[in-house]
Chain A
Amino acid sequence: MAPLASGDPFEVVQMEDETVPEFSNGKPKRRYHFRWWRFIVLLLAGAYILIPLYAGLKFSFQGVTGGFSTLAYTSIPSAPGFTAALALSFKLAIVTMVVSTILMVPTSIYVHLRMPRFRRVMDVVSVLPIVIPPIVLIVGVIGDYPLWARSSPYLLSFMYVILSMPFVYRSLDAGLSAIDLKTLTEASRSLGGNWIKTMWQVILPNIRPALLSATVLTLALVFGEYTMASLDLWTTIPVWIAQFQVSSDGHVQVAASMVGLIGTWILLILVVSLDRSQSRRNRRRTA
């Protein structure tokens, strides 16, 4: 750079040796440097997740003679006990989702509207089911609940409501935080809406992605929970997989696990897509 000319301190001076940044469309070009360690981390993480999946998929497509076969997948529906286990898991998932929604949606709305300071407490309470092992919960239930309650599989649903609380509450909390809940509620109330209509016609449609996310996560949890169901002696899909594994060569069970896993992934991708479209709408609204 040339030295400042003497005299007028505000004199414009020619810059020399100044690196002129490259611009494209008015924006400075970002330079991406290849960081080899990032690639290694990504590779390791990918291998950690994908190798077991690959092994499972390969095993499930292996025929008796070792060649490629889809027999394991086509024989899933006719495997003994599968239909009953699937039906039970579905019933439990539906009851869990309904109870969880009925319990958590009004609670979350109430906390947001009337007790915003209580949200921190809710944050802590909602993660307790992750801290407390499921086996502790189910042992307590089996020991203390009356026989008539334990004789129904739906008792499991109430346990699953507790287990799903961290996912459901956090999804709803994020959804409710993304809208101006107080103003929307007051607008509805001033126009004559009662609480049920306000919730049904104003709040729920605007937190739909959060609700969907909560229900999908609950579904995934119910279809993956083994400890409670097996200790309470109910054959849900995870229990069936474990039990049938013992009495067969395992191809069908692995195939069923793969179907469950991929199905859950597809659902999650759908939820993320819905969430993104909702975010875009919100951005446009606030622009």
Chain B
Amino acid sequence: MTQMKESPMTESTSAPRSTGAGVSLENLVRTFGKVRALDGLTLSIEPGEFMALLGPSGCGKTTALRVLAGFETLDSGRVIVDGDDLSDMTARKRDMGMVFQSYSLFPNMSALDNVAFGLRMRKQSGRVRRAKAAELLDMVGLGDQRAKYPHQMSGGQQQRIALARALAIEPRVLLLDEPLSALDAMVRAELRDQIRSLQQRLAITTVFVTHDQEEVLSMADRVCVMSKGHIEQVATPAELYSRPATAFVAQFVGISSRYPVDAASQRVGLFGQDCPVRSGEGSALSGPADALLRPEDVSIDVDPAGQGFVTRKSFLGAMTRLTVQIGEIPVRVDLRSDRASEIDLGTRVRMSVVARDVLIAPRQPIIEEPVS
């Protein structure tokens, strides 16, 4: 795949707007029959920010994006962009560029005509349209593909054309609805980096919907984790991973193992250690609770008198993920691969907590964890 060019804009046409618009979603409510897809969603996005909406299927993230785009009407709430209330405005007047999950290029138009479509709708002259569309195609590294039709291009190329088409109209906000999900892993990783670098260069406010944690953690300035139509946490990727506010976030973002503990006075006893409880929704819990342990929060040592034994090993490259069975509870632990290679399946090990504090949540029944 060719690389995007760095500065193709010329003086003949105006470059895409370099300052993004501020977006404010205020108490959005949208129901479909008995399902409350958005349940009082309130979110503020800074100008030029790359905000990711992350959550499982049915959490309302796509509905929120479609409300912002103007494709869904609201039961109540307001959509404010740069101080303008767009709640009752039709999609075509909102000035938002959107890249869809499925390939959305117009099959009857060439790449150049696709990119120029929005400009034609804005009644720009043919010369300006062609020049600007060509520049944007250069920007996404597909200047030599301008005459090709969608069926002659790969999925990755089509999504890059769709990105150029969305940017051509100089949108106030760029909306990305899982644009990488239909692509294979290698193209996805490459396009992910390209979208991010383009967004940073143009400083365009971007809202990105996905259920892929890796995409979110590598691309977004901030992440809004959603569940059942409401927000669980809005934070930077690093904060989200290291300081999840809720048990849902801890389990949805990254890998967490639940281990039953007894909490008292914001401390828990875990593997024979007395650990402080991390501030969060469960910090005030007292009595039976679950500790949510990241694979890197714990370590193991071979010990014939240890609490558990190794039942599974997954090689991840530099690291190897081991599953240690402690009674009925599986706990996942990351070890350096050279060290993990010395530990065989069935080896009895002693667990220890290496994190400075532990996130706890209300206790839940033990559920067999999926293979990671």
Interface residues of A (CB under 8 A from B): 179-180, 183-184, 186-194, 197, 201-202, 205-206, 281-282, 284-285
Main secondary structure of the interface of A (DSSP, over half): helix
A180-B104, A183-B102, A184-B104 as given contacts; A191 in contact with B69, CB under 8 Å = no
Would you call B107 an interface residue if the criterion is a C-beta within 8 Å of the partner chain's C-beta atoms? Answer: yes
CB–CB B169/A183 < 8 A: no
Q: How far in angstroms is the closest Cβ of chain B from A109?
A: 15
Does B55 sit within 8 A of A, measured CB to CB? no
Write 20 A-B pairs (CB below 8 A) sorted by A numbering: A180-B103, A184-B106, A186-B98, A187-B106, A187-B162, A188-B106, A188-B117, A189-B71, A189-B90, A189-B92, A190-B70, A190-B91, A190-B94, A190-B97, A190-B98, A193-B92, A206-B107, A282-B151, A284-B151, A285-B150
Closest A-B pairs by Cβ, 6 of them? A191-B118, A192-B121, A285-B151, A205-B108, A187-B104, A189-B91
Contacts of A205 in B (CB 8 A): 108
**Provided the pairs A190-B69, A190-B98, A192-B169 are in contact, do residues A202 and B106 lie with their beta carbons within 8 angstroms?**
yes
Given contacts A190-B92, A206-B107, contact A183 B121 (CB under 8 A): no
Interface presence of B96 (CB below 8 A):
yes
Q: Across the interface, do A183 and B106 meet the contact criterion of CB distance under 8 Å?
A: no
B160 partner residues in chain A, CB cutoff 8 A: none
B122 within 8 A of A: yes
Q: How far is the CA of A206 from the CA of B152 in the complex (A)?
A: 16
From B105, B107, B118, A192 is in contact (CB under 8 Å) with B118
A188 to B70, CA, bound (A): 13
Q: A186-B91, A186-B98, A285-B150 are in contact. Are A193 and B104 (CB under 8 A)?
A: no
Q: Determine how close the nearest CB of chain A comes to the CB of B154; give it in whole angstroms.
A: 10
Q: Are B107 and A285 neighbours in the complex by a CB distance under 8 Å?
A: yes
CB closest residue in chain A, given B66? A186
**Are A187 and B100 in touch, CB under 8 angstroms?**
yes
Are the C-beta atoms of A192 and B122 separated by less than 8 Å? yes
Known: A183-B102, A281-B151. A197 touches B121 (CB 8 A): yes
Given contacts A180-B103, A186-B104, 20 further A-B contacts (CB under 8 A): A180-B102, A180-B104, A184-B106, A186-B91, A189-B70, A189-B90, A189-B91, A189-B92, A190-B70, A190-B166, A190-B175, A191-B97, A191-B117, A191-B118, A193-B92, A193-B117, A201-B117, A202-B108, A285-B107, A285-B151
Within 8 A of A (CB), among B70-110: 70-71, 90-94, 96-98, 100, 102-108
Contacts of B105 in A (CB 8 A): 187
Chain B 107-139 interface mask (CB, 8 Å, partner A; 1/0): 110000000011001100000000000000000
State whether A183 and B100 are in contact (beta carbons under 8 Å apart), knowing that A189-B92, A190-B69, A191-B165 are contacts in the complex. yes
C-alpha gap A284/B149 in the complex (Å): 11
Separation in Å of the A200 CB from the closest CB of chain B?
Answer: 11
Cα distance A179–B107 in the bound complex, in angstroms: 9
Closest to A202 in B: B106
Interface size on B, residues (CB 8 A): 31
Q: How far is the CB of B144 from chain A (nearest CB, A)?
A: 20
User: Measured between alpha carbons, how far is A98 from B97 in the docked complex, in Å?
Assistant: 36
CB-CB under 8 A from A206, the residues of chain B are 106-108
Chain B residues with Cβ below 8 Å from A201 are: 106, 117
Given contacts A192-B118, A193-B92, contact A186 B100 (CB under 8 A): yes
B259 to A: closest C-beta gap in Å: 40
B-chain residues with CB within 8 Å of residue A179 when the two chains form the complex: 107
- Checking A186, A194, A281, A282 against B71 with a beta-carbon cut-off of 8 angstroms, the contacting residue is A186
* In the complex with contacts A190-B92, A191-B169, A281-B107 CB distance below 8 A: yes
Partner of B98, one of A184, A187, A193: A187
Residues of B within 8 A of A285 (CB): 103, 107, 150-151
Q: How far is the CA of A202 from the CA of B121 in the complex (A)?
A: 12
With most chain B CB atoms within 10 A of its CB, the pick from A186, A190, A194 is A190
In the bound assembly, the distance between CA atoms of A168 and B324 in angstroms comes to 65
Chain B residues with Cβ below 8 Å from A194 are 92
Of all chain B residues, which has the CB nearest A207?
B108
Which of A183, A187, A188, A202: most chain B CB closer than 10 A? A187
CA distance in complex: A282, B166 (Å)? 24
List chain A residues, Cβ under 8 A from B103: 180, 285
Bound Cα distance A284, B154 (Å): 10
Complex interface bits, B242-278 against A, C-beta within 8 A gives 1, otherwise 0: 0000000000000000000000000000000000000
B window 158-191: CB within 8 A of A = 162, 165-166, 169, 175
CA distance A215 to B21 in the complex (A): 48
Would you give the shortest CB distance from A169 to chain B, in whole angstroms? 23
**Quick one: closest A residue to B171, CB to CB?**
A190
Contacting residues of chain B (259-315) with chain A, CB-CB under 8 angstroms: none
Q: Which residues of A contact B97 (CB under 8 A)?
A: 190-191
Taking CB atoms, residues of chain A closer than 8 Å to B169 are 191-192
CA distance A241 to B118 in the complex (A): 54
CB within 8 A of A191: which of B121, B151, B152?
B121
User: Hey, which chain B residues are within 8 Å of A189, CB to CB?
Assistant: 70-71, 90-92
Q: How far is the CA of A285 from the CA of B98 in the complex (A)?
A: 21
Max chain B C-beta neighbours (<10 A), residue from A188, A194, A285: A285
Taking the nearest CB of chain B, how far is it from the CB of A279, in angstroms?
12
Q: Which A-chain residue is minimally distant from B162 (CB atoms)?
A: A187
A184 CA to B105 CA, complexed, in Å:
7
